[in-house]
Amino acid sequence: MPVYNLATRALIVAYKADGKSNHDITEMTGVEKRTINSIYARAIERGFDPALRPLKLENKHIEDAPRSGRPSKEQKASEKVENHVRRDLYDREKTCADIVGDLSQETLINQPLPCRDC
């Protein structure tokens, strides 16, 4: 199934709840009938009530499901680096030398790296 953005999914769910036919929705959005039914069924499964007026469509009804699997190890390391890059304890911008020094102290970097901007 192709991935459609949230706006397209919301449009499909709203049209379907309003009683539009799959054929009409396909003509307007270019989404296949099977995918329309899948998006609509998933929205109902996640708590969307098509009988409620005015329609109350929330992001949780149409968002992608969380993906399974182990998170990337790089994510933790890159977040740690980003936290050191921008500001210091007193909300001042750090210099390149400060950043290299901080990172080498925390053993993220074994040897200080040459700084291009210094």
Instruction: Check whether residue 15 and residue 46 sit in a common domain.
Output: yes
Whole-number Å distance between alpha carbons of 113 and 103: 10
Tell me, yes or no, whether 36 lies in a domain. yes
Domain span including residue 75? 70-118
User: Does residue 28 register a pLDDT over 80?
Assistant: yes
Task: Please indicate, yes or no, if residue 14 is contained in any of the structural domains.
Answer: yes
Q: Is residue 20 part of a domain?
A: yes
Does a structural domain hold residue 1? no
Q: What is the mean pLDDT of the chain?
A: 83
CA angle 68, 71, 77 (to 5 degrees): 170
- Which pTM value belongs to this model? 0.58
Tens digit of each residue's pLDDT (9 = 90 or more) over 54-106 = 999 999 999 988 888 887 677 777 777 676 666 777 777 777 787 777 777 66
Tell whether 77 and 45 lie within a shared domain. Answer: no
Task: Give how many domains the chain has, as a whole number.
Answer: 2
* Band of residue 110 on the pLDDT scale cut at 50, 70, 90: low
One domain, residues 47 and 26: yes
pLDDT of 108 > 70? The answer is: no
Q: Distance of alpha carbon 115 from its chain centroid, rounded?
A: 33
Asked if the model's pLDDT at residue 47 lies above 90, the reply is yes
Residue percentage of the chain with pLDDT more than 70 = 80
Distance between CA atoms of residues 94 and 97, nearest Å: 8
Whether 16 is in a domain gets the answer yes
Instruction: Yes or no: say if 13 and 62 are a contact pair by the CB < 8 Å rule.
Output: yes
Residues 112 and 83 in one domain: yes
Residues 6+ apart with CB under 8 A from 15: 24, 25, 28
Same structural domain, 57 and 79? no
